[in-house]
Structure 1
């Protein structure tokens, strides 16, 4: 079986993209999804995204984590899905599409900067040491110093698998406020089970956590590049008109030969 794929990245968060409007790709084949995401035996990616037909919308985005299983909303993946759908001619500059957490809107510029509308946030758990919320995916956010040298894998994994979060999992974000009011964010992602270069729902959670001190839009620095998060704060726990803003780029395209016996 020959699979045509496109590789995209959004601030270093990379994805295998497949046009599945024909429905040929078997989304129940977790082994195949994990193989395509494998960085030694497959294409290599933090996740895989299918673009599918959806009545009354430009498309539907189906997102899989690198472990092969369908995941919750991925912000950088959503921006890459918008960029890919645009190359497929599914919309001009503005799109509405469905994802696992519901309806999203987005716009794209000629420079492939994507302005992706995220879901409203209606609950933020704020504690002295961390904040916890769902921005399409669950996120634990904690502020830290010396973030450049932090062992994000070890510390993030310990939180992701602690007694509270082990069963369902959480993404873990370490945030450092810098002198120019930019946030530096590093994230351990569940499903990938490692640090990624960037996490869109994670930087969104980081920005909303920091909103008590910083105005919208908030600039974000990640290992993979720069993003912005714009929002309207109703109060410290309720937010609407949340936008994740940043680039999405095609890396390459190709074919992958797959045999179920491989």
Structure 2
């Protein structure tokens, strides 16, 4: 079975998009998703995105990380899908329904309302998620937020100086986080400007993470160290995040289609 795909990226966070809204795909396993995502023997991507019909929204978006695990949300992929779809849409995800709209050079996405309670992140046991009494090496007192997927955020003097490649996987897999965690390390570059690096669960260091930018901007606004809208600078480029207390998060930024191709499903199954 020959399967068409679209290769896309948002600030270098790249995706293989499979559009199954009209023609269904065979059953997808974690192993198949991981083989497609493999950069040496597959097509290569940070996430594989599958679009399917939905009874609850205009269509459904499924997200598979590079390790094959299916996850709840991906902000950069949402912008890429908005560019691909071409018009405003409501999209069902495992993390909730989001609203996306193409914008000049990319898209604007309503990512929904962030969750702050410990069991909504989730954490393994109750604690104050705004000032967590935990730490790893030089990183301590983080904030935890669920923005469709779980994030922990550390604010430091210089985000570029943190060896996130070493400490990221340790924090991601700590028993405190029963569903693992995305790890964000940020520093304040101005009253409306943050610098951010992200260790993404199931992926590793990434050039950009849309949900990470959302979680980090919300955390900074809650702490009173930034004001909305916040410009978040990641290694791959900038995103703009707007959020007011009690409201939903609005993420705006670029998305790009790189190329199109096709593959034989049996080569990966």
1:223 and 2:235 correspond: yes
- Tell me, yes or no, if the aligned pair for 1:51 and 1:85 is still in contact at 8 Å: no
Residue of 108, 112, 116 corresponding to 1:123: 116
**Which residue in 2 is equivalent to 1:182?**
193
Residue of 160, 173, 176 corresponding to 1:161: 173
Secondary structure, in 3 states, of the residue corresponding to 2:247?
Answer: strand
Residue of 241, 253, 258 corresponding to 2:248: 241
1:19 and 2:19 correspond: yes
Q: Kindly report which structure 2 residues correspond to 1:168-207, keeping only aligned pairs within 5 A, or say none.
A: 168-179=179-190, 181-192=192-203, 194-207=204-217
Cα distance in structure 1, aligned partners of 2:29 and 2:175: 31
Unpaired runs of 5+ residues, structure 2, are 118-128, 133-140
Deviation at 1:35, TM superposition (A): 1.0
Cα distance in structure 2, aligned partners of 1:253 and 1:146: 39
- Tell me, yes or no, if the aligned pair for 2:15 and 2:45 is still in contact at 8 Å: yes
- Tell me, yes or no, if the aligned pair for 1:14 and 1:45 is still in contact at 8 Å: yes
Which moves more between the two structures, 138-147 or 39-48?
138-147
Secondary structure, in 3 states, of the residue corresponding to 1:240?
Answer: coil
Cα distance in structure 2, aligned partners of 1:39 and 1:123: 35
Cα distance in structure 2, aligned partners of 1:9 and 1:222: 14
Q: How many residues align?
A: 248
**Which residue in 1 is equivalent to 2:93?**
99
**Which residue in 1 is equivalent to 2:258?**
251
Q: Kindly report which structure 2 residues correspond to 1:50-89, keeping only aligned pairs within 5 A, or say none.
A: 50-55=50-55, 57-86=57-86
Task: Give the direction of change, closer, same or farther, for the CA distance of 1:18–1:176 in structure 2 (3 Å limit).
Answer: same
**Which residue in 2 is equivalent to 1:89?**
none
Cα distance in structure 2, aligned partners of 1:57 and 1:19: 16
- Tell me, yes or no, if the aligned pair for 1:228 and 1:245 is still in contact at 8 Å: yes
- Tell me, yes or no, if the aligned pair for 2:80 and 2:106 is still in contact at 8 Å: no
- Tell me, yes or no, if the aligned pair for 1:229 and 1:245 is still in contact at 8 Å: yes
Per-residue CA shift, 1:221-255, capped at 9, x if unaligned? Answer: 0011100101111xxxxx31311110111011111
- Tell me, yes or no, if the aligned pair for 1:112 and 1:248 is still in contact at 8 Å: yes
Unpaired runs of 5+ residues, structure 1, are 87-91, 234-238
Cα distance in structure 2, aligned partners of 1:148 and 1:198: 14
Cα distance in structure 2, aligned partners of 1:146 and 1:101: 31
- RMSD of aligned alpha carbons: 1.8
Deviation at 1:23, TM superposition (A): 4.3
Secondary structure, in 3 states, of the residue corresponding to 1:216?
Answer: coil
1:112 and 2:105 correspond: yes
Cα distance in structure 1, aligned partners of 2:23 and 2:2: 14
Per-residue CA shift, 1:6-27, capped at 9, x if unaligned? Answer: 0110111111001111343234
Deviation at 1:260, TM superposition (A): 5.4
Q: TM-score by structure 2 length?
A: 0.86
